[in-house]
Amino acid sequence: MKNTSIEISTFRATVKAIGVYHLFLGVAEVYRIILRRAGFPFALNYNWQYELAWTFFYFAAAAALLFGTDTFCRLAFRPEAIAEALKDDS
């Protein structure tokens, strides 16, 4: 199966978009933690350790996806297919 450069660039864009989404989720969690600590009740049950753990997860997932996009691309596609698709494009 021959991979095109459009498929590879679409995959990279998708990985980066998921990374940005996780980045926004992490920022939203930090914002919620700060507002709750300031006294704005959003829920009946407040467990800040649980939310802090999810915040770390969101930021770690965002960092892995945003900085490791090429690595995920090499895992998804063969390196020869990437090089061939880039060569066919030029």
Q: How far apart are CA 61 and CA 8, in angstroms?
A: 21
pLDDT tens track for 44-60: 456 778 888 889 999 99
- The pTM of the full predicted model, rounded to 2 decimals, is 0.75
Q: How far apart are CA 61 and CA 66, in angstroms?
A: 8
* Distance of alpha carbon 41 from the chain centroid: 29
Domain ranges of the chain: 5-89
Is the per-residue pLDDT at 41 higher than 70? no
**Banded model confidence at residue 42, pLDDT cuts 50, 70, 90:** low
DSSP assigned state of 4:
P
DSSP assigned state of 44:
S
What percentage of residues in the chain have a pLDDT greater than 70? 81
